């Protein structure tokens, strides 16, 4: 017989409470996007009815509700409680609930920027024998993100290329439900090239400065090529993200020119003339940035990807258009757009509650 509780509501009124009714209330609150109510109700189920068969599902769903409310610390705790269940350590097959909880825990760790813990978590998860191809794409991709954030670029690149290779190999073997992590891998390969571009110095004397700019230009083209490859992978979220980054690359190259070291032999009055000449010559870089942002906004509208990347492209487009009016006599820095946070969990799939 399932356990029940008697709850006094008011004098003379008693409510009979059982795990099933509380769980149903939690499900309804979650469906209505009342995530604070849902998480509290799920917590009550597993706390007050721990022996109920619904306890496992309640812990998992509580984690989802906390995630939806952006409380990733609480979500992490709920997944850890679920994975601390002896059944989680004893299972080897047919343990989809526990595997899903491990993936959700990893996503929470990334959202909390606990990258060292996330890297170890995904490395351990990849040793699990019951992962689908889709699972492996996610785990390898997320492991790569953790390595990227831990400033381990060679390991990160190895992971992202492994994702693309596994995806191509799997096309004839197993249908993959989502290409989200394939797009992620392509985008982050662009991010690695962008890091290389940004790390290159600009130094005097003038001959060295010319060589440095040539190296910068080559690095920019390499990063652009990788972002274009990411766009061809056809995941809407990451295609728009890559388009935004290409526009930013040309903005950054413009800034590199107008803030580069000025030859020391120039007199003060000549420095102003020199800087104005530089700005006029590299104006084309701003024009390229505008064209890429314009194309990105149009692409986002066409494919229905009205996400934060599209919003940032649109906002930056307006700033760049203002800069392309006749330039002033002093360097005009571009106000940096607050770059959107990189997603730490699946963005293209709904949460699945148990």
pLDDT tens string 80-101: 999 998 776 665 444 788 999 9
**Number of domains making up the chain:** 2
Residue 289 placed within a domain: yes
CB atoms within 10 A of CB 289: 26
User: Between the ranges 11-15, 204-208, 220-224, 333-337, where is the mean pLDDT highest?
Assistant: 220-224
Q: pLDDT-derived band of residue 328, with 50, 70 and 90 as boundaries?
A: very low
Over the stretch 276-313, which tens digit does the pLDDT of each residue have?
A: 899 999 999 999 999 999 999 999 999 998 889 999 99
> Greater confidence, 266 or 283?
283
Over 90: is that where the pLDDT of 9 sits?
Answer: no
Residue 331 placed within a domain: no
**What range defines the domain where residue 77 resides?**
18-87
Of 294, 174, 312, 305, which is closest to residue 234 (Cα–Cα)?
Answer: 305
Q: pLDDT-derived band of residue 338, with 50, 70 and 90 as boundaries?
A: low
Residue 31 placed within a domain: yes
Q: How far apart are CA 88 and CA 83, in angstroms?
A: 5
Q: How far apart are CA 302 and CA 280, in angstroms?
A: 34
pLDDT at 311: 94
pLDDT at 349: 47
| Average confidence score pLDDT of the chain | 88
> Greater confidence, 280 or 50?
280
C-alpha distances in Å from residue 197, one per residue of 47, 166, 215, 334: 52, 28, 8, 18
> Last residue of a domain, which of 36, 53, 87?
87
Tell me, rounded to whole angstroms, the distance of Cα 159 from its chain centroid: 16
Residue 339 placed within a domain: no
Of 288, 262, 293, 279, which is closest to residue 329 (Cα–Cα)?
Answer: 279
Q: pLDDT-derived band of residue 266, with 50, 70 and 90 as boundaries?
A: confident
Over the stretch 142-175, which tens digit does the pLDDT of each residue have?
A: 999 999 999 999 999 999 999 999 999 987 666 7
Over 60: is that where the pLDDT of 346 sits?
Answer: no
| pTM for the full predicted model | 0.87
Residue 64 placed within a domain: yes
> Greater confidence, 265 or 344?
265
pLDDT at 170: 86
Percentage of residues of the chain with pLDDT beyond 90:
69
Q: What is the mean pLDDT of residues 223-243?
A: 96
Q: How far apart are CA 237 and CA 177, in angstroms?
A: 16
Over 50: is that where the pLDDT of 128 sits?
Answer: yes
CB-side exposure of 308: number of CA atoms within 13 Å?
A: 8
Residue 73 placed within a domain: yes
Over the stretch 182-218, which tens digit does the pLDDT of each residue have?
A: 999 999 999 999 999 999 999 999 999 999 999 999 9
Q: Are 246 and 236 in contact (CB under 8 A)?
A: no
pLDDT at 155: 98
Q: How far apart are CA 76 and CA 254, in angstroms?
A: 43
Residue 114 placed within a domain: no
Over 70: is that where the pLDDT of 334 sits?
Answer: no
pLDDT at 68: 97
CATH classification at residue 60: 1.25.40
Q: What is the mean pLDDT of residues 59-65?
A: 96
> Last residue of a domain, which of 63, 87, 111?
87
Residue 12 placed within a domain: no
> Last residue of a domain, which of 87, 109, 137?
87
Q: pLDDT-derived band of residue 351, with 50, 70 and 90 as boundaries?
A: very low
Q: Which residues contact 102 (CB under 8 A, 6 or more apart)?
A: 79, 83, 121, 125, 128
């Amino acid at each position: 017989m399932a356990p029940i509780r008697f709850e006094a509501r008011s004098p003379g009124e008693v409510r009979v409470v059982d795990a099933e009714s509380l769980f149903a209330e939690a499900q309804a609150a979650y469906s209505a996007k009342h995530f604070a109510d849902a998480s509290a109700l799920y917590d009550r189920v597993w706390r007050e009815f721990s022996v109920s068969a619904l306890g496992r599902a309640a812990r998992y769903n509580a984690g989802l509700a906390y995630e939806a409310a952006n409380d990733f610390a609480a979500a992490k705790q709920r997944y850890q409680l679920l994975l601390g269940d002896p059944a989680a350590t004893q299972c080897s097959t047919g343990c989809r609930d526990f595997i899903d909880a491990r993936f959700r825990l990893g996503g929470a760790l990334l959202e909390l920027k606990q990258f060292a813990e996330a890297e170890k978590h995904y490395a351990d998860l990849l040793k699990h024998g019951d992962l689908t191809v889709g699972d492996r794409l996610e785990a390898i991709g997320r492991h790569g993100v953790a390595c990227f954030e831990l400033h381990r670029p060679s390991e990160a690149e190895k992971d992202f290329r492994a994702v693309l290779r596994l995806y191509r190999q799997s096309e004839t073997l197993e249908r993959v439900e989502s290409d989200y992590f394939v797009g992620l891998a392509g985008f982050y390969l662009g991010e690695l090239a962008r890091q290389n571009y940004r790390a290159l110095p600009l130094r005097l004397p003038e001959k060295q400065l010319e060589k440095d700019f040539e190296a910068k230009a080559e690095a920019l083209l390499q990063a652009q090529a990788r972002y274009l490859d990411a766009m061809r992978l056809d995941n809407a979220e990451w295609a728009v993200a890559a388009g935004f980054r290409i526009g930013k690359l040309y903005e950054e190259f413009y800034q590199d020119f107008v803030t580069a070291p000025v030859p020391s032999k120039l007199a003060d009055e000549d420095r102003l003339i020199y800087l104005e000449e530089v700005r006029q010559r590299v104006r084309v870089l701003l024009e390229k940035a505008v064209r890429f942002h314009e194309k990105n906004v149009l692409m986002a509208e066409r494919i229905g990807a009205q996400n934060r990347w599209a919003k940032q492209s649109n906002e930056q487009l307006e700033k760049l258009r203002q800069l392309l009016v006749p330039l002033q006599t002093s360097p005009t820095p571009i106000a940096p757009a607050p770059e959107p946070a990189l997603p730490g969990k699946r963005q293209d799939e709904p949460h699945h509650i148990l």
